[in-house]
Amino acid sequence: MPDGAIGRRPAGSAGGPAPGAHLIAAMNWTTLISAEELAHAIDRCVLVDCRHRLDDPQAGRRAWEAGHIPSAHFLSIDDDLSGRHDPSLGRHPLPDRETLRGKLAALGLSDDTQLVVYDDQGGAMAGRLWMLARWLGHRHVALLDGGIAAWQRAGYPMSTEAPAPATPGHLSERPTLVTLLNTAQLMAALQDGHSQIVDARPAERFQGKDTSMDPVAGHIPGAINRPLSQNLRPDGRFKPAEVLRHEWETLLAGRKPEDIIQQCGSGITANHNLLSMELAGLPGSRLYPPSWSGWISDPSRPVAKGE
């Protein structure tokens, strides 16, 4: 598709709606958006590239500079979507709420604007901004299903040009749409007899076999493991909602979604499971942002290994 075709309504037959018109009319994506849907609505969205490598923090920006979806801004996981360093809050503390609100408004995001986020890891990184937008109370945020690879497979163009400066938007202070727990709240929840931690890290890290990311290996006692990769099809898109619902209900084993506490290594990839449950029609699980790296900041806290 040529560059100028993005966002243009294809000509329809006389007397009928243009193909794709329903895609533009919706403008209310809250979990996922397909490459086709984005292509039709891109000129009415704020688009953010969230590519990132945990072992190479500058890799995402280099990738954006080499080629990105047209009009996409770049926000860094470390510099824009995380706060000041504090070991007790994990490797990626939450950013200052008002600073984040200002950054998103500066990109042109307003209360009624659709925000679309993407990466090149099936949503593992972009899920952070999906959650943060909801933390600010912004419901109209969706992750590009399949990421930049899905966009390219569909034949849509790439760009190396930075987007033009946006007219600042207005993001009102709204009630949060996600429940976050600090460590004291997590420890209290673990005593209620209902709460269940779900760890989104790969099995090797959960089991304590991979010690490459954190100085202490293992997991929070009582946690169960659902690696985020289990949410995805082989092509990097999310599994159908009904499949995810069946898998999550099996894992819940009779618990309510509100009983689930999502965590990972540093509060980034846990959002993938949060989004997965939302997509499955099981909203309400909670997030422990400090995650494993925050938990182990106090050597007196217990550590488990194995399955």
Reported as a single tens digit per residue, the pLDDT across 20-67 is 444 444 468 999 999 999 999 999 999 999 999 988 999 999 999 999
| DSSP reduced 3-state for 230 | helix
Please report the pLDDT score of residue 7 as a whole number: 46
Q: What percent of the chain has pLDDT over 90?
A: 86
Q: If you ran DSSP here, which 8-state letter would residue 30 be given?
A: S
* Least confident stretch, 82-91, 98-107, 141-150, 279-288: 82-91
Residue-level pLDDT at 189: 93
Does residue 16 have a pLDDT over 90? no
Bridge-partner residues for 199, per DSSP?
225, 263
Q: What is the pLDDT of residues 105-139, one digit of tens each?
A: 999 999 999 999 999 999 999 999 999 999 999 99
Q: Which helix (H) or strand (E) holds 117?
A: strand 114-118
Taking a C-beta distance cutoff of 8 angstroms, is the pair 239, 248 a contact?
no
Confidence of residue 213 (pLDDT cuts 50, 70, 90): confident
Nearest alpha-carbon partner for 222 in 256, 259, 268, 179: 259
Q: Is the per-residue pLDDT at 219 higher than 90?
A: yes
> Residues 229, 223: contact at Cβ < 8 Å?
no
Q: Answer yes or no: is pLDDT of 253 > 50.
A: yes
281 DSSP 8-state letter: T
Neighbours of 239 (CB within 10 A): 17
Residue 19 pLDDT > 90: no
Question: What single DSSP character describes residue 163?
Answer: P
User: Is residue 6 predicted with pLDDT exceeding 70?
Assistant: no
Average pLDDT, the chain: 91
Active site residues: 264
How many C-beta neighbours within 10 Å does residue 292 have?
29
Q: pTM of the full predicted structure?
A: 0.91
CA–CA dist 1, 238 (Å, integer): 25
Q: φ and ψ at 56, to 5 degrees?
A: -155, 80
CA-angle at 159, arms to 156 and 163, nearest 5°: 120
Closest CA to 123 of 105, 140, 93, 145: 145
